[in-house]
Amino acid sequence: MYESSRALFERAQQSIPGGVNSPVRAFKSVGGDPVFIRGAKGAWLYDVDGNQYIDYINSWGPMILGHAWEPVVKAIQEKVKDSTSFGAPTALEIDMAELIKSMAPNIDLVRMVNSGTEACMSALRLARGYTGRNKFIKFEGCYHGHADSFLVKAGSGLATFNIQKVPGVTAGVANDTLTCAYNDLGAVQELVTHHKDQVAAIIIEPVAGNMGCIPPAEGFLEGLRRICTEEGIVLIFDEVMTGFRLAPGGAQERLSVDADLVTYGKVIGAGMPVGAFGGKKEIMQHIAPLGKVYQAGTLSGNPIAMIAGYTLLKALQERNEIYSELEEKTLYLKQGLDEALSLSGKPYRINQLGSMISIHFSDQPVTDFASAAASDNAFFNRLFHAMLRRGIYLPPSAFETWFISNALEKAELDQTIAALKEAMAELLSA
Ligand SMILES: *Cc1c(COP(=O)(O)O)cnc(C)c1O
């Protein structure tokens, strides 16, 4: 069933570390060998052995309207004829910036980069440059890319591989990273008081997606907003996952809380390598060439990446009903998963907000990293394979949210629910 994938994985390991270009792809936590993908269309992934899967990763978010969405494919094909990069400004970059501003109204200026990592790394540097402070607060289990400062209690990838301390990140850097449990406002207040006038920024996934899906508790984001305003701390919403997914204006719009700086990735590039960070002019004007906080990129604002992202974002803006459709589908799936799991007798929790959803096998509410880690994740790992064998491609770790695309129709959702019933019966009878 997986012969060609196995052969490719063998070959890949001879020339690529671990055979993959990003660790979570390696199936290491769930065990087994990764499946190699040949192509995808709509809700479906096709592997090199002729198997097909209903896709709940969607390239970790970007394929919110499904794979190979025609308008994006066409736009890229047209644009590529005019060369792939110039290293000089283009009108398209202005169109993109204006479109982002129209979707997230509290953004005055926005800088394009090439990944979510770059966006978060640059936003943090900017917050430090702007405030003249060094420390920042992040939350256990939140992932903000792989820049040194963020690789402290950093969620999915590291949790999946049980990496506690990352070799190569110096103590000096790690010492400036303060961490709190997600949803623990009291702990944030204590840290801020203890490090009075030293905290440059609080960065958070406004809906966490890198320890499974964990929504913010009532009043939590509002509390962070208040603390930041009172203490002159820059509030950074890492919307790499939630941006353009939870609403046209992301979590800021969906949850009615404004950040000072916002970072984007994933959906913003429609599957091309794109990130962005933006915010109020007062802060953003400190970025070079306006200010002294240096940040640059040879390929930033790349025309092919911009036309792909622009085409997708424009569609999301114009067809606002996409968001209610996505939510309806996710709620339908949630109800089906709920029924399938309750039949099995195994304790579970389903967390969901908008088109983000995940299952934790726990009899306790899952509200932070500790409660996510305390779940029966070994069982999830077995479930992953039982689902894969049935043609359902879930994220290969219990510490990841599932990404719903609008290409999923009732037939695929029903197939997923039926597969879960079967898979649970198989696993629990064994
Ligand atoms: C994926 C992700 C990142 C990192 O983005 P890359 O494009 O992989 O560098 C940062 N923050 C969050 C919340 C993410 O989900």
- 175-209 as b/e: b if 16+ CB within 10 A: ebbbbbbbbbbebbbebbeebeebbbbbbbbbbbb
Tell me what pLDDT residue 162 has.
63
Residues 296 and 419 placed together within one structural domain of the fold: no
Residues 60 and 85 placed together within one structural domain of the fold: no
Q: Give the DSSP letter of residue 35.
A: P
Look at residues 295, 265, 278, 311 and name the one whose alpha carbon lies nearest to residue 68. 311
Task: Find out whether the beta carbon of 116 lies less than 6 Å from any atom of ligand 1.
Answer: yes
Reduced to 3 states (helix: H, G, I; strand: E, B; else coil), residue 123 is helix
Tell me which residues of the chain have a pLDDT lower than 70: 155-164, 430
Catalytic residue selected from 47, 55, 238, 258: 238
Tell me what pLDDT residue 213 has.
97
Q: Is 238 annotated in the active site?
A: yes
Residues 89 and 238 placed together within one structural domain of the fold: yes
Residues 95 and 240 placed together within one structural domain of the fold: yes
H/E segment holding residue 224: helix 220-231
Q: How far is the CA of 347 from the centre of ligand 1 (A)?
A: 30
Residues 14 and 135 placed together within one structural domain of the fold: no
- What one-letter code names the amino acid at 325? E
Q: Return the best residue to mutate from 63, 144, 245, 369 for the ligand 1 pocket (most ligand atoms within 8 A of CB).
A: 144
Tell me what pLDDT residue 157 has.
66
Residues 102 and 141 placed together within one structural domain of the fold: yes
Q: Which of 282, 299, 318 is the last residue of a domain?
A: 318
H/E segment holding residue 297: none
Residues 152 and 295 placed together within one structural domain of the fold: yes
Residues 99 and 238 placed together within one structural domain of the fold: yes
Residues 35 and 77 placed together within one structural domain of the fold: no
Q: How many domains does the chain have?
A: 2
Which residues are CB-contacts of 160 (< 8 A; sequence separation ≥ 6)?
23, 24, 28, 29, 397, 399
Q: Which of 251, 284, 318 is the last residue of a domain?
A: 318
The CATH number for 349's domain is: 3.90.1150.10
Q: Give the DSSP letter of residue 244.
A: T
In the chain, the N- to C-terminal Cα span, in Å, equals 22
Q: Which of 296, 318, 340 is the last residue of a domain?
A: 318
Residues 128 and 213 placed together within one structural domain of the fold: yes
Peptide bond into 167 cis (omega under 30): no
Q: Return the best residue to mutate from 58, 241, 261 for the ligand 1 pocket (most ligand atoms within 8 A of CB).
A: 241
Task: Find out whether the beta carbon of 277 lies less than 6 Å from any atom of ligand 1.
Answer: no
Residues 381 and 404 placed together within one structural domain of the fold: yes
Task: Sheet with 349-353: list strands edge to edge.
Answer: 349-353, 356-360, 402-403
Alpha helices in 14-85 (DSSP H): 70-80
Task: Find out whether the beta carbon of 215 lies less than 6 Å from any atom of ligand 1.
Answer: no
Tell me what pLDDT residue 159 has.
64
The CATH number for 314's domain is: 3.40.640.10
Q: Is the CB of residue 265 less than 8 Å from the CB of residue 242?
A: no
Q: Which domain holds residue 43?
A: 5-68+320-429
Residues 39 and 93 placed together within one structural domain of the fold: no
Q: Quick check: pTM over 0.85?
A: yes
Reduced to 3 states (helix: H, G, I; strand: E, B; else coil), residue 67 is strand
